[in-house]
């Protein structure tokens, strides 16, 4: 069966001062990144979550707004259309956004916006304002009711894009500060925000006290269009099925625009299984980093790893090139425990395979989109390339766009074995796990 998106998942602040967080500090970062040092970053971008509510497939307006926001240097986490209140609130909290923007054309705005505000407050995100618009659907009288219900701002049809952008940038700009009252996913999210809005430096122990954290960290790299996001989503599905009491975290890196500094962070659109409360999903913009990861990614990995809340962490790089080494496999300390490299069948031929450095350093190599007619020849060529490394690397063939793909099943089993995950014991580490041939 092919992947079908279910109804619930279709799809500048003030300058931050230098922060030193010693051991014992009770801020969200303390204990998660012991001895972490942060240095100031000038005017980090606003982060906004945008979405279209349930039973509403009108996405042309929100697409225009998203592009305009990115053009003005804002980072946009886009959920897609036909989104539930629960999905929007979960994403807003995990992404620690400055504000939530909703585009509603289906006439249900009075109830929907009010429920988003209510659930944000109940879930520890009451400080996240909600704004929106709906062309001619939302009337001035409706807007007054919505504002009494806690909605911050409604933009009406005819308002110029320049005015909307100017107001958003001034109205929702605020520095990210440690907040001791934050709990759960919001505390983790704020710790990552603090790391992201500063330049992270210094060594970070794997955990306080010297004990090895339980999380297995898997870095996923590959060229753009290989299907990395879909593959990670299907692996997330396998985790939720086979590890009934564990949690999984996803760090999705997307490129910032080199001219404007804005970004469209759209990996949540294809993250169907991120709608589960056992999944923590965070989007990161590269903000000028040319490594394939945000400069804050090492800190974010340590924050999640040292939290002790997760059994498995996926870190997805942006689409990388032939010389890329986003997880520092060849230089110094590797950022992740396992490197998974994903290729599509249309990589360009054998000589192109010879140039890809990560095929030498990857722990797991995947040929995705195996329903492509070119996949048969690609399997032989890639396996030959791996055999030349003399490391015993085995190629995993997957079609992640198809639910219940046996190739994805085998790949998850291999990841579980490397990480010592025992499905029968709810995610606890095991010494061995049998992998199907």
Q: Taking 90 as the threshold, does the pLDDT of residue 427 lie above it? A: no
pLDDT of residue 179: 78
Alpha-carbon Rg for the chain, nearest whole angstrom, is 22
| 2 located within any domain | no
pLDDT of residue 42: 56
| 178 located within any domain | no
Which CATH number goes with the domain that contains 234?
3.40.50.300
* Cα dihedral 113/118/123/124 (nearest 10): 100
- Helix, strand, or coil (residue 284): strand
Q: What is the pLDDT of residues 52-63, one digit of tens each?
A: 999 998 889 999
Count of residues in the chain? 437
User: How far is residue 312's CA from residue 278's CA, in Å, rounded to a whole number?
Assistant: 11
Same domain, 229 and 316: yes
pLDDT of residue 33: 47
pLDDT of residue 2: 54
Q: What is the pLDDT of residues 218-247, one digit of tens each?
A: 999 999 999 999 999 999 999 999 999 899
User: How far is residue 186's CA from residue 152's CA, in Å, rounded to a whole number?
Assistant: 21
Same domain, 291 and 349: yes
Which CATH number goes with the domain that contains 107?
3.40.50.280
Same domain, 166 and 212: no
Confidence of residue 429 (pLDDT cuts 50, 70, 90): very low
Pairing state of beta strands 47-51 and 99-103? parallel
Could you give the number of structural domains in the chain? 2
Same domain, 53 and 155: yes
Structure tokens at 91: 């994403």
Work out the number of other CB atoms within 10 angstroms of the CB of residue 239.
26
More confidently predicted of 366 and 14: 366
Q: Which residues pair with 303 in a beta bridge?
A: none
Q: Cβ contacts of residue 321 below 8 Å, gap of 6+?
A: 223
Q: What is the pLDDT of residues 320-353, one digit of tens each?
A: 888 899 999 998 789 999 999 999 999 998 999 9
User: How far is residue 221's CA from residue 234's CA, in Å, rounded to a whole number?
Assistant: 16
Same domain, 256 and 400: yes
Q: Taking 60 as the threshold, does the pLDDT of residue 30 lie above it? A: no
| 340 located within any domain | yes
Q: What is the pLDDT of residues 293-322, one digit of tens each?
A: 999 999 999 999 999 999 999 999 999 888
| 275 located within any domain | yes
Distances (CA, A) of 42 to 12, 18, 75, 99, 195: 9, 11, 15, 20, 13
Structural domain ending residue among the three candidates 171, 188, 222? 171
Distances (CA, A) of 368 to 25, 90, 220, 325: 45, 30, 13, 20
Confidence of residue 424 (pLDDT cuts 50, 70, 90): low
Same domain, 376 and 232: yes
User: Alpha carbon 302 to chain centroid distance?
Assistant: 15
pLDDT of residue 23: 27
Same domain, 165 and 278: no
Q: What is the pLDDT of residues 349-367, one digit of tens each?
A: 899 999 999 999 999 999 9
Same domain, 147 and 296: no
Same domain, 249 and 104: no
Nearest alpha carbon to residue 176 among 101, 91, 97? 97
Q: What percent of the chain has pLDDT over 90?
A: 73
The residue-averaged pLDDT of 256-278 equals 94
Structural domain ending residue among the three candidates 154, 171, 188? 171
Structural domain ending residue among the three candidates 152, 171, 190? 171
Q: Residue 344: which domain range?
A: 208-425
Same domain, 281 and 223: yes
| 190 located within any domain | no
Confidence of residue 435 (pLDDT cuts 50, 70, 90): very low
The residue-averaged pLDDT of 41-46 equals 72
Distances (CA, A) of 360 to 267, 329, 387: 27, 10, 10
pLDDT of residue 433: 29
Q: Taking 80 as the threshold, does the pLDDT of residue 201 lie above it? A: no
Same domain, 53 and 126: yes
Q: Which helix (H) or strand (E) holds 115?
A: helix 109-122
More confidently predicted of 198 and 101: 101
| 179 located within any domain | no
Pairing state of beta strands 130-133 and 153-155? parallel
Q: What is the pLDDT of residues 149-159, one digit of tens each?
A: 999 999 999 99
Q: Cβ contacts of residue 239 below 8 Å, gap of 6+?
A: 246, 248, 311, 312, 412
Q: Taking 70 as the threshold, does the pLDDT of residue 180 lie above it? A: yes
Instruction: State the average pLDDT for the chain.
Output: 86
- Residue 279: phi and psi, rounded to 5, are -110, 130
Q: Taking 50 as the threshold, does the pLDDT of residue 209 lie above it? A: no
Confidence of residue 86 (pLDDT cuts 50, 70, 90): very high
pLDDT of residue 188: 96
Confidence of residue 213 (pLDDT cuts 50, 70, 90): low
Q: Which residues pair with 218 in a beta bridge?
A: 314, 338
What's the burial of 312, exposed, middle or buried (CB within 10 Å: 0-12/13-18/19+)? buried
pLDDT of residue 426: 53
Contact 362, 341 (CB under 8 A): yes
Helix ranges (H only) for 243-374 are: 297-307, 350-355, 358-361
Q: Which residues pair with 102 in a beta bridge?
A: 51, 132
Sign, CA dihedral 316-317-322-324, equals negative
Q: DSSP strand E in 245-311: where?
A: 248-254, 263-265, 279-285
Same domain, 327 and 408: yes
Q: Cβ contacts of residue 52 below 8 Å, gap of 6+?
A: 58, 59, 62, 80, 81, 82, 83, 102, 103, 104
| 266 located within any domain | yes
| 400 located within any domain | yes
């Amino acid at each position: 069966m092919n992947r079908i998106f279910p109804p619930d998942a279709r799809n500048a602040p003030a300058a931050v001062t230098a922060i030193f967080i010693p051991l014992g500090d009770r801020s969200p970062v303390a204990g998660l990144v012991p001895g972490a040092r942060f240095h100031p970053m000038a005017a980090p971008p606003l982060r906004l979550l945008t979405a279209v509510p349930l039973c509403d497939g009108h996405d042309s307006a929100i697409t225009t707004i998203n592009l305009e926001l990115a053009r003005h240097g804002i980072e946009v986490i886009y959920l897609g259309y036909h989104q539930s209140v629960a999905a929007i609130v979960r994403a807003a909290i995990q992404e620690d956004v400055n504000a939530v923007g909703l585009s509603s054309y289906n006439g249900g705005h009075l109830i929907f916006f009010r429920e988003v505000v209510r659930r944000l407050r109940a879930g520890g995100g009451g400080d996240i304002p909600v704004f929106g618009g709906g062309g001619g659907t939302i009337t001035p009288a409706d807007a007054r009711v919505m504002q009494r219900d806690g909605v911050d701002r409604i933009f009406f049809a005819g308002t110029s894009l320049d005015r909307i952008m100017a107001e958003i940038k001034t109205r929702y700009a605020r520095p990210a500060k440690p907040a001791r009252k934050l709990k759960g996913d919001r505390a983790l999210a704020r710790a990552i925000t603090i790391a992201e809005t500063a330049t992270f430096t210094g060594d970070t122990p794997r955990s306080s006290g010297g004990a090895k954290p339980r999380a297995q960290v898997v870095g996923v790299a590959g060229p753009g269009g290989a299907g990395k996001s879909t593959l990670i989503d299907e692996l997330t599905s396998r985790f939720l099925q086979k590890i009934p009491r564990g949690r999984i975290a996803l760090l999705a890196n997307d490129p910032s625009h080199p001219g404007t500094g804005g970004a469209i962070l759209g990996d949540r659109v294809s993250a169907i299984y991120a709608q589960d409360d056992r999944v923590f999903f965070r989007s990161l913009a590269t903000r000028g980093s040319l490594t394939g990861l945000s400069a804050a990614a090492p800190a974010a990995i340590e924050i999640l790893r040292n939290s002790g809340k997760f059994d498995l962490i996926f870190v997805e790089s942006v689409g990388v090139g032939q010389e890329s080494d986003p997880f520092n496999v060849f230089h110094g300390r590797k950022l992740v425990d396992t490197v998974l490299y994903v290729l599509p069948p249309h990589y360009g031929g054998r000589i192109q395979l010879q140039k890809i450095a990560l095929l030498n350093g990857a722990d797991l190599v995947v040929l995705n989109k195996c329903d492509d007619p070119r996949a048969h020849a690609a399997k032989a060529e890639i396996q030959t390339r791996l055999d030349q490394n003399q490391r015993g690397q085995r190629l995993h063939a997957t079609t992640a766009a198809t639910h219940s793909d046996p190739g994805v099943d085998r790949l998850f089993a291999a990841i579980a074995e490397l990480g010592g995950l025992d499905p029968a014991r709810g995610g606890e580490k095991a010494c061995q796990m049998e992998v199907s041939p």
